[in-house]
Amino acid sequence: MDIEQFLPLIIPLVVIQLGLMVFCLFDLKNRESVRHLPKWGWALVIILGELVGPIVYLFIGRGDS
């Protein structure tokens, strides 16, 4: 198998992952309070959690502000 076969599938996933990560990090920076973890903990989840980390932050970690 050649990697070039999978590029049309991989490139959009990488773009979505990076976009979600950037959006969540900006949201985290501007939010006064978050739930369940300190802000630095959520930053680690967002960055190291690849595609799942930002989604977990959006559904579980966002505070009420």
Domain boundaries, the chain: 32-65
Rounded to two decimals, the pTM is 0.81
> What pLDDT does 54 receive?
93
> What pLDDT does 65 receive?
55
Collapsing DSSP states into helix, strand and coil, what is residue 20?
helix
Length of the chain: 65
User: Residue ranges of the chain with pLDDT lower than 70?
Assistant: 1, 64-65
DSSP code for 46? H
Region of residue 50 (phi > 0: left; psi between -120 and 50: alpha; otherwise: beta)? left
